[in-house]
A and B are shown apart, each in its own frame.
Chain A
């Protein structure tokens, strides 16, 4: 929306400010209104520069436009008045500014700026203070940040271009005048007219120089910002690389490059445009140059910096989009087979290319082969180069897509293998890592670069039976290597931390059968691998994972067997969670013991590769229950009969009774057919239509009872692990540990949930329930107590606990180290939060909720009260509680110890802050809020009132509150403390302070403020206004009304003129001598005597022996004072040698300056005598 329109939509208080602004302005509001759009479209600030050729042009245009609109007005009464006003304005403006158009430009520029300021205030005020003004905007996501920065970069670039065009104009104007007026020669040197012309010329050159420096500063700023932008892009690209690596391993994730491509292209485009601008700037220098021309000194630096940045961007923008994979590899890329086709694709994210230039992309395999004995070498059989065709598919970007590649091993490459090699033997084939390198000869706009990128390492096999172990290598590498080019990785493979391995294993199940591993599954696998319960520090060595194995096969071979069994035959059952899967024998008995006879579970065999079995429990009238397990089914059997059908028709042959199916309930208690019914196949053997004459027959599995049940080798001796077994706690409470969804509890139970690694427990107690959740690393616990429920949550290290209490539950949350607790009580709920070192607790009570927070040292507590709850926050030592009250709650915040409470009441809220000890509370009331601050001993309060809150500040003994009121808040200090209110930039009376006895009142209004101070007895009054100087009242005897300073709100006036008494003559406006100060000369002498002598540090010589002293003698003399200490240290250390040459190499040397002999021309008293190099003008 246009600015003037927005201004008109402001609230009345702000509109009033706008009216006042124009009441004293030489530009009538009628003109502003009439030509609103045009006025806003011009660059007045630039035109206001001295001697701008732009200013007369703009002024003239305005008068012409004004005339035109006069002509187009009708003859109605309202128009009649408007016409009159505009005609008057036309006349007045012409009279006042006709000779000084740049003053008019300055006036308009200031008006627009002031409007924007009022707009900002008004719009911030209109938002009801929901955002605390001093705190920065919430950190947006990186994606948003990149987009915002890209937009800002574009804007700044356009601005730089505009400034450059202006510079061109200035230079042309100067050039013209120079050629016309500059006539070196003696005869006219005394002609006053000529001298006048030369002075004008000199001024024009000054102006040109300033504009050149301005443009250069803009370029520096632009490059600085684009460096940050590029840093963010690199981080985003790094994340993408990691994501791609994970996705290769089967993790879910998006590896689309669309966003990155757009961002890289936009930044690349911007940098190329900047490069062009820099070239044009150089062209300007070719036409006009002078002594100390900034273009000469600074453009080479800018060029270097830009070139480096652009190169860095392009080099990182060349990425492998699709890692090498064979077409049917499915979920397992990076394993290639000799003779089989594979493909790989690279992409240049900067989508900029020259249509007329052919770019060649090439691939090489193992360009820099590692020094490993017996390392196989391969040739790429198909063509290894490709032309990147421009314009082929503009929307698809710049890609090098290599398809149908095949590899062939070089015949003689393994000649050395097995020939009595000393030292380490060669790696096995599946541990040999190979790389493909892409290169691209890039050329655009005269920039030529050789770009390259490499794939992730891959394994080349010659037989499909190597696939499983090849994949194990790929898993291990991508899980652990930080260097994607480390081809020597398996010469000494590192061990894998268990939590990391657990995650990667879970991805394997996720990608094979769409369901990852549960916490219990992983615990069993960990025991199998580690032999004990895993700790966060447990690690698994590579041989243990892929090579050793008690049963004749490695852990990975066993797991991979299960994976392929799952994928081919049990996908649906696994996905639906019917297979418990990884349960040890001991565990299994514990689970089944308390269940009804016929309760069974499905698990994978530990003794057979790729086998699944079921175990059921049978209770006897006497003695302990017995458990039966059937011999594991393998893929070969499941091909002919699916597992649900086996379960359905499974028969137990009894000695005397008819056969029966012992499988009755799937653990814990689901009737068999309910669990498996929908998987039973209706199909019967043979064709139904044809086989009516036959009786149906079904293939079923039967076991006969044996005295001893078939045992499986127990690979792991498990210790007791009770907490894992609390799948169904006593009573009516309920829990949901990861992976096993169970219905929520009703009534008054107690639920205790302990998620371990990676689990996410969700607990919902019903009425009257109590939920206790303990989250350990790095799980997430979510607890929602219902009515009257009590939720107690204790996240451990790194855990995240989210608690939502609804009416009228009580939530108690204690985050441990590094934990994050988020608590949201609903209506009537009570939340108690205790944050210990250094957790973060966030509490948001709803209506009527009462949150109570206690932070102990270093915790951070964020409390947000919505109406009308009560907020009590007690930070311990070093804790930082932050409270935000939205209307009309009353959050009293009590900070003890050195904590820092920050309180921001929103609309209508009342915030009470009591700081004890050396804490620093920051209080910022929003609109209409009331903030009451009591700083007691040693506390320091900073109070900031934004309009129109009321702020009451009561410092206790020794406390120092600092208040800053922006319009039109009121500050009322009391007591013994020191009060420093600092209202800023307010055109009305904005602050009035009444200190009581013995208080100290320091008032520093900002530039435009005016101030009324009424001190009581014994107070010390210090008034320091930004522009208007320092008034120091004498202790105990403060003149009451002389402290009033009134300044005209100054945006329009070039200078403020203080009117009232108590002001000073302009020269001394900023200073007043202290009462009773000595005669200046005396003082100076006295001080000279007091100057400290050179410091003593005789021992310094030995301290930092450096290569000699680099400072010059002149400089040494410059710093006699501050102790020789500094000086000596400075000279002694090599550090203190100047970073930069004192003599700028870019300054033209005397012999370079072919300066014409007109010394008198520029020897004026001007500060910057610039000299024109006449050799550049012919």
Chain B
């Protein structure tokens, strides 16, 4: 089946790109196809998973080059996802995912959806004065990766950025925390350990920075990302909390890139997605879909002199050897 486009309904390029990323993920559609149908027409109309499935079926009947996600968009607007508004892809992804999870109802499916997307980490806070330590497990949907380091120097590659993200940070001065043991505010070392990355790992490049607290502007410089990502090679022993058999699954392949072109105030999203069934790259620009190559995907690395060009914003990696 050739890939099908989605008509732009008015600033819906962001939604369209994310939907394509969801639909091209066969592991996700396997879950989606098993949802239970809400009984009443009204419930069906406002059920996001059901509307997504309907849209998927419409796309897959393969009769036209693009379909309009009108019903889904209406359904989303009932859940306060506004229409005709330029969304941030990372935020919309989170919103969509939460709506999906909330409305899927079947606990088995919800568990599978979580398994597919959530990143398990452990946070450590250790007092530097005494032995007091706080550990807490938490989950994340995306890793928000910096593209600049603390002193605003450009990070060179995605691996550097990941490494920097998991780098422990000393909380001192104003950021000091209260230590129960010492009974006063002390310097803490804050660190994060990766416990279990999911089947589909979502990375979010923080390609924007604040200038004089008012204006945000986009960082378009080059940040190459690999086609194959081995987290065992990127992270140090201290940054992981997993045994060897768990770590053996930490090898990833790039699955999709949601790219943004333009400035922070006006822009366009498109998605580059590796078709798992056809083994080739596609580029989705709303209703336009075309087959592309790795060269095209590489073009979204960014370029410091080309500010308006497409730059990767969300990266989706998939486990090479699922358990």
Residues of A participating in the B interface, judged by any CB pair closer than 8 Å: 45, 48, 106, 110, 134-136, 145, 156, 210, 213-214, 216-218, 220-221, 223-225, 227-228, 231-232, 292, 294, 297-298, 300-301, 304-305, 308-309, 312, 898, 918, 920, 964, 984-985, 1006-1007, 1024, 1026-1027, 1030, 1050, 1054-1056, 1068, 1070-1071, 1073-1074, 1077, 1080-1081, 1083-1084, 1087, 1090-1091, 1095-1100, 1102-1103, 1105, 1107, 1111, 1114-1115, 1117-1123, 1125-1126, 1129-1130, 1133-1147, 1167-1168
Contacts and interface: CB of A to CB of B under 8 A. Distances in A.
Given A224-B283, A1137-B216, A1144-B86, A301 B268 contact: yes
B76 to A, nearest CB: 10
Given A210-B7, A1139-B264, A1095 B138 contact: yes
B252 to A, nearest CB: 15
A1090 B107 contact: yes
Contact of B262 (A305, A964, A1024): A305
Given A231-B299, A1122-B101, A1129-B144, A1070 B33 contact: yes
Nearest to B62: A1007
Contacts of A1114: 80
A1126 B93 CA distance: 12
A1087 B107 contact: yes
Given A1102-B171, A1102-B175, A1125 B87 contact: no
B138 A221 contact: no
B317 interface: no
Contact of B105 (A292, A1071, A1087, A1118): A1087
Given A1030-B34, A1145-B266, A1125 B288 contact: no
Number of chain B interface residues as a range: 35 or more
A1119 B308 CA distance: 32
Given A984-B1, A1143-B85, A1095 B139 contact: yes
Interface stretch (B151-159, B193-201, B203-211, B236-244): B203-211
B38 interface: yes
Interface string B263-294: 01111101000000111100101111010110
Contact of B299 (A156, A228, A1030, A1074): A228
A1139 B175 contact: no
Contact of A1139 (B66, B89, B283, B288): B89
A1110 B310 CA distance: 25
B129 interface: no
B177 A1102 contact: yes
A224 B282 CA distance: 12
A1091 B107 CA distance: 9
A1122 B97 contact: yes
Given A1087-B105, A1129-B144, A135 B34 contact: no
B268 A308 contact: no
B91 A220 contact: no
8 contacts: A214-B287, A221-B290, A301-B262, A1007-B61, A1107-B210, A1123-B139, A1137-B210, A1143-B85
Contacts of B260: 1139
Closest 4 CB pairs of A and B: A1138-B88, A1135-B206, A1135-B144, A217-B286
Contacts of B287: 213-214, 217
B307 A301 contact: no
Given A1054-B63, A1074-B36, A1144-B85, 11 more contacts: A214-B66, A217-B5, A217-B287, A225-B296, A232-B295, A1096-B138, A1117-B80, A1120-B102, A1122-B118, A1135-B206, A1168-B70
B63 to A, nearest CB: 7
B125 interface: yes
B266 A1136 contact: no
Contacts, number: 274
B176 to A, nearest CB: 8
Nearest to A1136: B144
B9 interface: yes
Interface in B198-251: 204, 206-210, 213, 216, 218
Contacts of A1077: 36
A1083 to B, nearest CB: 6
Contact of B267 (A210, A1056, A1090, A1140): A1140
B57 interface: yes
B106 A1087 contact: yes
A1030 B208 CA distance: 44
A802 B279 CA distance: 31
Nearest to B94: A1126
Name which of A224, A227, A312 has the most chain B CB atoms within 10 A of its CB.
Answer: A224
B116 interface: no
A1147 B82 CA distance: 14
A1140 to B, nearest CB: 5
B53 A1080 contact: no
A143 to B, nearest CB: 14
A920 B322 CA distance: 11
Given A305-B308, A1142-B86, A1144-B11, A1130 B91 contact: yes
A756 to B, nearest CB: 33
B223 to A, nearest CB: 14
Contact of A1121 (B1, B82, B102): B102
A309 to B, nearest CB: 7
Contact of A1129 (B125, B140, B188, B279): B140
Name which of A220, A1027, A1167 has the most chain B CB atoms within 10 A of its CB.
Answer: A220
A1143 to B, nearest CB: 7
B84 A1147 contact: yes
A225 B292 contact: yes
Given A305-B308, A1135-B144, A1115 B95 contact: yes
Nearest to B283: A224
Contacts of A1055: 61
B45 interface: no
B135 to A, nearest CB: 10
Nearest to A1139: B88
A309 B136 contact: no
Contact of B1 (A1007, A1068, A1142): A1007
A309 B299 CA distance: 13
B37 interface: yes
A1141 B285 CA distance: 20
A1118 B309 CA distance: 32
Name which of B5, B8, B146, B213 has the most chain A CB atoms within 10 A of its CB.
Answer: B8
Contacts of B64: 45, 48
Given A1080-B38, A1145-B266, A1146-B266, A1118 B1 contact: no
Contact of B279 (A135, A1027, A1056, A1095): A135
Contacts of A228: 292, 295-296, 298-299
B144 A1084 contact: no
Given A224-B283, A301-B262, A308 B306 contact: yes
B60 A312 contact: no
Contacts of A1140: 14, 86-88, 264-265, 267
Contact of B36 (A301, A1054, A1071): A1071
Nearest to A982: B277
Contacts of B39: 1080-1081
B136 to A, nearest CB: 6
A47 to B, nearest CB: 13
Contacts of B11: 297, 1144
B306 A312 contact: yes
Contact of B95 (A304, A1007, A1118): A1118
B183 interface: no
Given A110-B63, A1102-B177, A1168-B9, A1083 B105 contact: yes
A168 B297 CA distance: 33
Contacts of B85: 1142-1144
Contacts of A1081: 39
Contacts of A223: 261
A1027 B298 CA distance: 35
Contacts of B270: 220-221, 224
B149 interface: no
